Structure 1
Amino acid sequence: MANFAKRLIIALLVIFVPVTNALAQRQISFLRDAETERFLHNITDPILKAAGLKPEAVHIYLVHDNSINAFVAGGENIFIHTGLILAAHDVDELTGVIAHETCHIACGHQVRDEGYQTAGTTSVLSMVLGAAAILAGGADAGMGIMMAGQQMAQGQALAYSRGQESEADLAAAKYLRAVGVSGSGLIRFFQKLQREEVLAQIKQDPFVRSHPLNRTRILQLEQAVETSPYYHTPPNPKTNGEFLKVKAKLAGYLYDPVQTLRIYPPSDTSVPARYARVYAYHKALEWDKAIKEANALIAEDPSDPYYYEIKGQILFENGHIQKSLPVFKEAVSLKPYEPLIATAYGQALVSLEDDKHMKQAIPILQKATKQDPENTFGWFNLARAYSWVGNEPEASLATAERFYAGGAPAQAAMHAERAMRGLKMGTPDWLRAQDIMLISQEAASKMKRRSHRG
């Protein structure tokens, strides 16, 4: 049985995004988790609507970074650091920051030119393209970390003018009032971050560097939010409960197990604490304890699909693939429109490597990739299943989709052309392969020309 570290390496899909500024390159990790993404959309979508934006047009990316930050880049893209979620005390603090960032999109704010000179416009654009390219499901314990070798282009590189920051504060107060959320959470969070002002700039969190805080700014925001009829309204208990679960889940997944158990000791039998310990025990290879906590959560709420998801992942990664199948199946039945959970189920089926389970996996992975076309891990497993049953043209098309979504046009074009040779001309799949081939060939040519100019 391979150890946990080796399995984690195998589970990760690494896609490198080129950056022209070699001195600025570093590893950036994006984390995908079905429950966390769903939660972020649930609290963000009403804010986006209040701002006059279409939620389906705005992409939210979770950045695996312990620093406190959230920023907007490349148009309608919101990047939220895991450190921001872990630092927030309640859901209203997080929602307030998201409301502030929403204005930078809705208000048409542009970052200062000197910021781009620091990081390079190409770095910012490649970060956004890279984030779009690495949307892949499945990995350790229901979460996946995707890494891109690129400049994060944040902090001073994404700084706004004082006027824009003030406008974003006031707009946030308006959006929060429109959705019935107290702006006091944003005030509390800003006051917490204001202490960072006294630190050396190198030690400040990126949010403080890119959104400078001062007493005058906070006073202005206080005046705006205090007039809201919801100012003294506490966080919604249900939404705050979901926040505390997601926060605990992230802590268990990201922190060292010893640190997690210090924050969430076994004496704490609350749902968030149990959730954190599931991940901590799993990370510490104490699978019996992890399964015990997962079972306790399922007993607490048998209708929660994410509890089954983590239990299935623990069983799968511990080599009990057959036992994981009914658990994943239950998770999918409880959340049929969640492509990341379906991808995990499909991966387990494919891993058994027999005709029966490969045939079962195909419709599941077909649905998952249709719901989430940029799910490269789903395409990878779908290609494996097609190849196993002898359907090589569809396997080539699925592989072309994987490389197309992953930002590798040369490979996408090659596999799309291979798929076209085996598919019946004029069918929807043949036409799709043709589209991928033509678009990818052009993209590959442009990339080649740029590399020659560089």
Structure 2
Amino acid sequence: MKCKALVGKPLIALVTALAFLVGAHRAVDARSYITDTEIEFYIRDLSTPVFQAAGLSPAAIDLYFINDDTLNAFVAGGQNIFFHTGLLMATDTPEQLLGVIAHETGHIAGGHLARSGEALRNASRNALLGLILGAGAALASGRGDAAGAIIAGSQASLQNSLLTYSRTQESAADQAAIRYLDANRESSRGMLEFLSTLSGQELLSGRSRSPYASTHPLTQDRISFVESHVASSPYSDEKLPEDLQIKHRRMVAKLKGFIRSPARTFRDYEDTDTSLEARYARAIATYRLPDMKKALTMTDSLLEEYPEDPYFHELKGQILFEAGRPGEAEESYRSANELLPEAPRIRLELARVLLALGTPDGSTEAQEHLERVVQEMPYATFAWRQLAIAYGRNGDHGMSALALAEEAYRSGRERDAALQANRAKQKLQPNTEAWLRATDIEQLSTPRDRERKTR
């Protein structure tokens, strides 16, 4: 997934970016914001035709994934779509997930966020994600060993009140979704199947009820409308390409492997199931037991059959690194990076391994990788800190201080940002691009700090 540059824009500072599928080694906390290259790339591929049919720029829409076992998806703060992992795992086919995406796209294109008021529409990402996740001071780290954040009951109630759509808006989003799917000659049957799943939720109350059923009012008229369309549409029996079917099954298996307990994953994917996704899920669950030796054997078995799969190389690199074998992990991450050079998070993990090895050549290469990563993911504070380490090892202490200033600024720590920016200015050549950036950070950070002192 291509990440937009966020320099000079609101920054994620109140939510943990858990790259739990790229470097995590402990159970994922509830309601954490997660990132994973494989899942993001798949859902971006699935969504792009719908965004285009709606007249929206795919690059302008950000996708977020929240580790929550409930069924929910919603739009907030502009062109941002949030998916609960529970919803992703509950979809049996890509057609069902596509129906959800098309519906949420209808809310964006229809301007339905206006009901939430100007403040929410213009909310910065850190404020928006802080509201949604209840993340008090967690940071967008870009890797998997940061703590998650839990929504308090009152915050969840506030979330529902802000994100609840009217029945008129729900109907309008359904109609728009069907238009988008028809424009791409895609079936609305998956959308109907998902609505049928939700219809049972309407009879539930309290904690048993899906948040999606609460925030997206479901009526028989809505179901009847989609049923009628499925009955008459020439595209109702169309299936999405097989590669998307495979990617969907892999996404579900991967999420279950990392999020659910290993015992539950082994029950869902028994040894007798020799499908690719079952073997993938069992390898991940075995790694999480942890049984590193057996997990490596299982991953190697996958790589024997699919030697060009970057995500299997990535998983092997993760297992090796967690097992304290960075030299071997480097080889796996390097293979993953070569197979998927457009994935900044894989490049970040490769750089992290190179820095762990501690060789001069490795530090130089790590710096090159990290400079590219922060261009593509400027919000990933962990990447800025790793870049500061690389600069320091390579003797560039001015740039190291500037990278620490960037990390602090993007984490919302203005005082630290101003301090590091001032330190960078003392070591950098005046009036260079880096020196001017340090000046900008110092000026952006200091006034807010002074304002707080005067209150």
Q: Smaller-chain TM-score range? A: 0.7 to 0.9
For residue 412 of structure 1, what is the aligned residue in structure 2? 417
Unaligned runs of 5+ in 1: 1-13, 18-25
Q: Kindly indicate whether residue 70 of structure 2 is the aligned counterpart of residue 91 of structure 1.
A: no
- Looking at structure 1, the residues matched to 130 and 169 of structure 2 have their Cα atoms a distance apart, in angstroms, of 25
Structure-to-structure mapping, 1:159-170, within 5 angstroms: 159-170=164-175
CA distance 1:297–1:355, change in 2 (3 Å): same
Superposition CA RMSD, Å: 2.9
Q: Kindly indicate whether residue 324 of structure 2 is the aligned counterpart of residue 323 of structure 1.
A: no
Offset of 1:138 from its aligned partner? 3.0
Offset of 1:413 from its aligned partner? 2.5
CA distance 1:431–1:122, change in 2 (3 Å): closer
Partner amino acid for 1:104?
Answer: H
CA distance 1:116–1:431, change in 2 (3 Å): closer
Offset of 1:226 from its aligned partner? 3.9
For residue 440 of structure 1, what is the aligned residue in structure 2? 445
Structure-to-structure mapping, 1:165-244, within 5 angstroms: 165-244=170-249
- Looking at structure 2, the residues matched to 109 and 380 of structure 1 have their Cα atoms a distance apart, in angstroms, of 39
Partner amino acid for 1:92?
Answer: E
Q: Kindly indicate whether residue 82 of structure 2 is the aligned counterpart of residue 79 of structure 1.
A: yes
- Looking at structure 1, the residues matched to 415 and 51 of structure 2 have their Cα atoms a distance apart, in angstroms, of 36
For residue 348 of structure 2, what is the aligned residue in structure 1? 343
Contact 2:91 2:97 survives alignment (8 Å)? yes
Contact 1:64 1:145 survives alignment (8 Å)? no
- Describe the SS at the equivalent of 1:374: coil
For residue 4 of structure 1, what is the aligned residue in structure 2? none
For residue 289 of structure 1, what is the aligned residue in structure 2? 294
Partner amino acid for 2:127?
Answer: S
- Describe the SS at the equivalent of 1:60: strand
Structure-to-structure mapping, 1:25-424, within 5 angstroms: 28-110=31-113, 112=115, 126-128=127-129, 134-139=139-144, 147=149, 151=155, 153-424=158-429
Offset of 1:122 from its aligned partner? 8.0
Partner amino acid for 1:310?
Answer: L
Could you list the per-position Cα deviations for residues 424-453 of structure 1 after superposition, in whole angstroms to 9, with x for gaps in the alignment?
A: 11212112222222233345456x38x95x
Contact 2:93 2:245 survives alignment (8 Å)? yes
Offset of 1:16 from its aligned partner? 4.5
- Looking at structure 1, the residues matched to 179 and 450 of structure 2 have their Cα atoms a distance apart, in angstroms, of 47
Q: Does 35-44 or 242-251 show the bigger shift?
A: 35-44
Contact 2:166 2:217 survives alignment (8 Å)? no
Offset of 1:145 from its aligned partner? 7.1
Q: TM-score, normalised by structure 1?
A: 0.86
Could you list the per-position Cα deviations for residues 79-125 of structure 1 after superposition, in whole angstroms to 9, with x for gaps in the alignment?
A: 11101100101111111101111111111003656x999x9x98997
Partner amino acid for 2:71?
Answer: I
Offset of 1:399 from its aligned partner? 1.3
Q: Does 373-382 or 227-236 show the bigger shift?
A: 227-236
Contact 1:71 1:154 survives alignment (8 Å)? no
Offset of 1:180 from its aligned partner? 2.7
Q: Does 337-346 or 374-383 show the bigger shift?
A: 374-383
- Looking at structure 2, the residues matched to 440 and 91 of structure 1 have their Cα atoms a distance apart, in angstroms, of 45
- Looking at structure 1, the residues matched to 323 and 13 of structure 2 have their Cα atoms a distance apart, in angstroms, of 26
- Describe the SS at the equivalent of 2:218: coil
- Looking at structure 2, the residues matched to 416 and 387 of structure 1 have their Cα atoms a distance apart, in angstroms, of 15
Contact 2:261 2:285 survives alignment (8 Å)? yes
- The alignment of Structure 1 onto Structure 2 pairs a total of residues equal to 423
Offset of 1:243 from its aligned partner? 0.8
- Describe the SS at the equivalent of 2:281: helix
- Looking at structure 1, the residues matched to 50 and 408 of structure 2 have their Cα atoms a distance apart, in angstroms, of 34
- Describe the SS at the equivalent of 2:113: coil
- Describe the SS at the equivalent of 2:41: helix
Contact 2:303 2:309 survives alignment (8 Å)? yes
For residue 19 of structure 2, what is the aligned residue in structure 1? none
| Misfit runs of 4+, over 6 Å | 121-125, 129-133
Offset of 1:168 from its aligned partner? 0.3
- Describe the SS at the equivalent of 1:110: helix
- Looking at structure 2, the residues matched to 272 and 327 of structure 1 have their Cα atoms a distance apart, in angstroms, of 20
- Looking at structure 1, the residues matched to 95 and 417 of structure 2 have their Cα atoms a distance apart, in angstroms, of 43
Q: TM-score, normalised by structure 2?
A: 0.86
Partner amino acid for 1:230?
Answer: Y
CA distance 1:409–1:428, change in 2 (3 Å): same
- Looking at structure 2, the residues matched to 300 and 112 of structure 1 have their Cα atoms a distance apart, in angstroms, of 52
Partner amino acid for 1:43?
Answer: L
